[in-house]
Amino acid sequence: MTTPIKQHISELRQAVRSRHTHSLEWRQSQLQAFQSMLEAHQDDFIKAVETDLGRSSFISELSELNILKVALKEAIASLPSYVAPTKVSVPISVFPSSGSIVPEPLGLVLILSPWNYPLVLALHPMIGAISAGNAVILKPSEVSSASSKVLARAIGNFLDQDAIRVVEGGVAETTELLTHKFDHIFFTGSTTVGRIVYQAAAKNLTPVTLELGGKSPVIIDSTANLRVTARRLLFGLSLNCSQICVAPDYCIVVKEVASDFYHTITEVYAEMFPAPLKSSSDYSRIINTVHTSRLVSFIEESDKEELAKRGEILIGGEFDVEDKFIEPTIFRNTNLDAKIMQDEIFGPLLPVVEVDNLDEAINIVNDRPKPLALYLFSEDQSVVDRVIQQTSSGAVSVNDVLMHFAVESLPFGGVGESGMGCYKGKASFDTFSHKKPILHQSGRSLCDPYFRYPPFDEKKQWIMKKFF
């Protein structure tokens, strides 16, 4: 029998009120149980992701489970220093007091995770929430249903059910969850749904972390190593069928090297994928036929005017809707007004926009909503500095794509329409903590200066102005 959501929340609130989750011992024990859970259910997790996304065990282990194991190791090692009070200096006006900042748990947090990386994007925020001493409700995406079931079973088997629960279901369950008061909501998903979550949270004045997405651009300047650029772009385009919130969404290449770039990436594609991709175990599938059909509509464009704007197919173009297969596909010389340039693609399609110079590339980026990631390929440090200084994005990776997410010490998050707040490493702990300021003053009479209190004669006023 399924436990009602209201009952889950009521029981977890009891854990919050009892401060059951606050002790360092509880947090450490849960993180260690988390490690045991990943080991015990590794095969189950991998099989579930293969069912949902057709992803190979090697890729799932590399891009999800290994990242979680590194995050857990870091959290366990760093937790004593994370929870320790931080001393701060205080002015003479409050002598002889002391000041400190104490991180305290927020309370009960809700984590809403997506389907594209159903393990790491559900469990990584949970590591931060547990480290910070919170009670947690995880709501996995119903779209990746096999992964959702395994997550519910594994968490139920290994983690403290008095403080950590999984709620499965679809839109109805998510909608009901959002009617309740939480102390923080952590959402990963589309900008459209992010707005709905934000509006619901606002009704209860609940703070949120929104990990969204958008169109992450790639800029290729004339000094880029085109072979390295091509390899790394194709890696980003093919990994998980580019169903990644920080996947390269469109490419801006300086016309001076556009022809060489097209030639090089065509050669590299043949080297990286010598056999038919459809039969390759290294290549995933689109999540369902609905999303596949949406992506195919860009490939099968029938409107002549729109076809001219999209540009011709340089690489790829093969697909099978029933098999949820789309070959990595690159379009050359795409117009900025093309339909494919309007919204996040979230699939293995890459339009290439040609520009005259770096100024034009920077203007294209700045004319659009701030992206979750910006990728720059250049060997010119002055170009690197200009792009970093003159654009705004959640993150910048120079001469690579995607890999910044694998660096636990780098905060991950968006800006503007690509999201708010961040996590990973210490940033995760901070996201799920309140930094409580503490001023500890002496209660002795000798430390209670008379000039603080009225009536304020000239002498008291002089002293107060001097020291306050």
Catalytic positions: 211, 245
- Cβ-contact 355, 253 below 8 angstroms: yes
Tokens 């994928």 correspond to 273
Per-residue H/E/C for 91-130: CHHHCCCEEEEEEEECCEEEEECCCCCCCHHHHHHHHHHH
Facing residues of 184 across strands? 109
DSSP H or E stretch at residue 375: strand 374-377
DSSP state of 4: P
- Cβ-contact 87, 35 below 8 angstroms: no
Q: Is the peptide bond before 96 cis (omega within 30 degrees of 0)?
A: yes
Residue 412, burial from CB neighbour count under 10 angstroms (0-12, 13-18, 19+): buried
- Cβ-contact 186, 111 below 8 angstroms: yes
Facing residues of 319 across strands? 326
Residue 67, burial from CB neighbour count under 10 angstroms (0-12, 13-18, 19+): buried
DSSP state of 300: T
DSSP state of 449: -
Tokens 């076809």 correspond to 307
- Cβ-contact 376, 395 below 8 angstroms: no
Strand, coil or helix: 367: coil
Phi/psi region, residue 316 (left: phi>0; alpha: psi -120 to 50; beta: rest), is left
| Cβ-proximal residues to 60 (8 Å cutoff; 6+ apart), any chain | 45, 46, 49, 50, 119
